[in-house]
């Protein structure tokens, strides 16, 4: 089944404790992206990647890192999480055909205390 | 930056009625997409309209795009309870997808 998977789905952590949220897709998509969703703000793009070893900042990259060592995986790293990074995070992927539809993962609900 | 803005923020309709929501954006785009989200779950792509298109249909969905007014509308005809969800427009500009805050649609049985 074609899908985007994220792990973990739920995470409660403390300020400053490094964490990684994994994202994997099985559709051979070149393009992958991370978003955060906060009430009243919709989704905001954190980082995106157009292929292996190619990443770029979205609208809200501060406090986040990403890497794209393999085509299928695009982990999101929070080196020193803070409470303002409490949010619902989504990973998405698509074919690189200039704005093709994005396939979203189920989301990761992160709480930083 | 948040490019698209949906209007209204919330909409409540009776089953069988039509639902219309609008999206306005600020800068030029390559295409505009509409997505649906059911209660905190992942977004599902509904329809994509390119900047050189004016109208597109998909099943009970009709999307229009007016690039001169920088606006789009999504019409859902003959709504069903299963259409209860939040709907987001997203503008694509060189691989950066910008979403609005969404319209929450409630379909009453």
**Contact assignment for B42 to A40 by CB distance below 8 Å:** no
Q: Which is it for strands A108-112 and A10-13: parallel, antiparallel or unpaired?
A: parallel
With 90 as the cut, is the pLDDT of residue B94 above it? no
| pLDDT (0 to 100) of residue B2 | 53
Q: Which residue of A has its CA nearest to B4?
A: A42
Residue B81 parent element (H or E): none
Q: Which residue of A has its CA nearest to B42?
A: A106
With 70 as the cut, is the pLDDT of residue B109 above it? yes
| pLDDT (0 to 100) of residue A95 | 87
User: Any CB–CB contact under 8 A between B7 and chain A?
Assistant: no
Closest approach of chain B CAs to the CA of A15, in angstroms? 24
Q: CA-CA distance, B16 to A31, in Å (whole number)?
A: 38
| pLDDT (0 to 100) of residue A41 | 84
| pLDDT (0 to 100) of residue A97 | 61
Count of positions (residues) in chain B: 109
* A104 chain-B contacts, CB cut-off 8 A: 35, 42-44
Confidence of residue A99 (pLDDT cuts 50, 70, 90): low
**Does A27 or B96 have the greater pLDDT score?**
A27
| pLDDT (0 to 100) of residue B3 | 67
**Contact assignment for B31 to A99 by CB distance below 8 Å:** yes
Q: Give CA separation, B3 vs A43, B44, B77, B109, in Å.
A: 11, 19, 26, 34
**Contact assignment for B48 to A100 by CB distance below 8 Å:** yes
Q: What is the pLDDT of residues B1-28, one digit of tens each?
A: 456 788 899 999 999 999 999 999 998 8
Q: Is B15 exposed, middle or buried (0-12, 13-18, 19+ CB in 10 A)?
A: middle
Percent of chain B topping pLDDT 70? 97
């Amino acid at each position: 089944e074609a899908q985007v998977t994220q792990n973990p789905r739920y995470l409660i952590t403390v300020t400053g404790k490094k964490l990684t949220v994994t994202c994997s897709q099985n559709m051979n998509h070149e393009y992958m992206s991370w978003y955060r969703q906060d009430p009243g703000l919709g989704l905001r793009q954190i980082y995106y990647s157009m292929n292996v070893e190619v990443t770029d900042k979205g609208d809200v990259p501060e406090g986040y890192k990403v890497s794209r060592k393999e085509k299928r995986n695009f982990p999101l790293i929070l080196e020193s999480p803070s409470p303002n990074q409490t949010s619902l995070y989504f990973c998405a992927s698509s074919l690189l055909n200039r704005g093709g539809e994005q396939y979203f993962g189920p989301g990761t609900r992160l709480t930083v205390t | 930056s948040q490019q698209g803005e949906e209007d209204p923020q919330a909409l409540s309709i009776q089953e069988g009625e039509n639902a219309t929501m609008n999206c306005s954006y600020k800068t030029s785009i390559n295409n505009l997409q509409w997505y649906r989200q059911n209660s905190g779950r992942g977004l599902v792509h509904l329809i994509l309209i390119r900047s050189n298109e004016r109208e597109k249909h998909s099943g009970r969905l009709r999307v229009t795009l007016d690039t001169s007014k920088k606006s789009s509308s999504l019409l859902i005809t003959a709504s069903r309870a299963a259409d209860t969800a939040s709907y987001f427009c997203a503008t694509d500009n060189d691989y950066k997808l910008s979403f609005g805050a969404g319209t929450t649609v409630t379909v009453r049985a």
